[in-house]
């Protein structure tokens, strides 16, 4: 198939673009980072510099494709609302309009399980469960973007991957390392909360099936399907990196009050710098959130390739999973 990928120079977009190319599809990667675009081309994926606001350019590029996989987004626990709105809502709207004008029927949109988050434990969350008020502007704008996609594209697939990690990750595991660099890690509720994570290669596989398999329009949770305790996750990551630290028991309530006070101050400062810790960041460590991935298994025919500990071990040893099954255009059989 002919597939155009937005955000192809990002962590997930690059992994998907390379996987789709190796599976025999014709891929064009879009992005703004020319240097990373050259790296992508060295991996065999043609790259075109393109801003999401340039609807006409996207329309021209989409005209030679059958599927658009929309990975581009502003993903961060902190930032200006207008920046999130421009990137995640207006950017998605431009992608959708360009796809419609080009006659694209299948659009695969990468969303987030952050829209499920509440400051309480939530286990086995399903795609159709009632949604709480968005925890931050990132979650809010990604939820609005989902509505934009569903309202305009009949054959749309929305993927909600949880906690993406793997080789080249610049967000999830590095953030843990930065917090631990001070020598102390806060321990909320004994570190017993459960967290779902997903290896980037498994998310890329889910996107490939979503892009190529017929009759799968809908929304799907994606995770490793193997929740891990927060305490075990942090000890595994920091132990593998050789980063010494000690735990400090911290009550959740006062920590959240302090984080929200810091957020209020930072919002008033020039350039609105990110506070040392956000309420959302504390919530991720303090409360369980796991996903029900049965729809992805049953409808997409996708399943994670490895358990969480094996995937983490391979990533941390610098020997990321290789040789993952490549799904054919039918979306079913691996080859």
DSSP code string of 134-188: -SSHHHHHHHHHHHHHHHH-TEEEEEEE-SEESTT--SHHHHHHHHHTTSEEEE-
- pLDDT, tens only, 61-116: 898 889 999 999 999 889 999 999 999 999 999 999 999 999 998 999 999 999 99
Please give the pLDDT value at position 109.
Answer: 98
Residue with the two structure tokens 């956000």: 278
- pLDDT, tens only, 6-38: 999 999 999 999 999 999 999 999 999 999 999
Please give the pLDDT value at position 77.
Answer: 86
- What domains does the chain contain, in order, with CATH numbers? 2-316 (3.40.50.720)
Bridging pattern class, strands 198-199 and 164-165: parallel
Which residues of the chain fall short of a pLDDT of 50?
A: 320-335
Helix, strand or coil for residue 273? coil
The residues with which 184 forms a beta bridge, in sequence order, are 246
Please give the pLDDT value at position 49.
Answer: 94
Q: Is the dihedral of CA 262, 267, 268, 272 positive or negative?
A: positive
Residue with the two structure tokens 């490939």: 208
What distance in Å separates the CA atoms of residue 113 and residue 137, rounded to the nearest whole number?
Answer: 14
**194 Cβ neighbours under 8 A, 6+ residues apart:** 123, 227, 228, 229, 230, 288, 289, 290
Cβ neighbour number for residue 82 with a 10 Å cutoff:
10
**The model's pTM:** 0.92
Please give the pLDDT value at position 171.
Answer: 79
Please give the pLDDT value at position 314.
Answer: 87
């Amino acid at each position: 198939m002919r597939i155009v990928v937005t955000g192809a120079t990002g962590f997930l977009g690059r992994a998907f673009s390379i996987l789709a190319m190796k599976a025999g599809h014709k891929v064009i990667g879009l992005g703004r980072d020319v240097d990373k675009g050259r790296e992508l081309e060295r991996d065999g994926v043609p790259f075109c510099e393109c801003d999401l606001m340039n609807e006409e350019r996207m329309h021209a590029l989409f005209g030679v494709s059958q599927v658009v996989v929309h990975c581009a987004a502003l993903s961060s626990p902190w930032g200006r609302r207008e920046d999130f709105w421009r990137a995640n809502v207006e950017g998605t709207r431009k992608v959708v309009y360009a796809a419609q004008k080009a006659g694209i029927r299948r659009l695969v949109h990468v969303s987030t399980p952050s829209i499920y988050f509440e400051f309480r434990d939530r286990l086995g969350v399903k795609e159709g469960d009632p949604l709480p008020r968005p925890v931050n502007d990132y979650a809010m704008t990604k939820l609005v973007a989902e509505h934009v996609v569903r309202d305009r594209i009949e054959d749309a697939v929305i993927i909600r991957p949880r906690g993406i990690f793997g080789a080249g990750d610049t967000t999830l595991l590095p953030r843990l390392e930065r917090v631990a660099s001070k020598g102390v890690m806060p321990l909320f509720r004994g570190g017993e909360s459960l967290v779902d994570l997903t290896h980037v290669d498994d998310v890329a596989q889910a996107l490939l099936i979503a892009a190529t398999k017929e009759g799968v329009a809908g929304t799907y949770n994606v995770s490793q399907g193997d929740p891990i305790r927060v305490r075990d996750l942090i000890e595994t990551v920091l132990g593998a990196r050789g980063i010494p630290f000690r735990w400090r028991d911290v009550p959740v309530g006062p920590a959240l009050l302090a984080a929200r006070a810091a957020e209020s101050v930072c919002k008033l400062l020039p350039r609105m710098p990110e506070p040392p810790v956000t309420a959302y960041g504390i919530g991720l460590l303090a409360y369980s959130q796991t996903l029900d991935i049965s729809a992805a298994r049953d409808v997409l025919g996708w399943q994670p390739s490895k358990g969480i500990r094996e995937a983490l071990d391979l990533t941390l040893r610098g020997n990321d999973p290789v040789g993952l099954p490549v799904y054919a255009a039918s979306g079913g059989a691996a080859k």
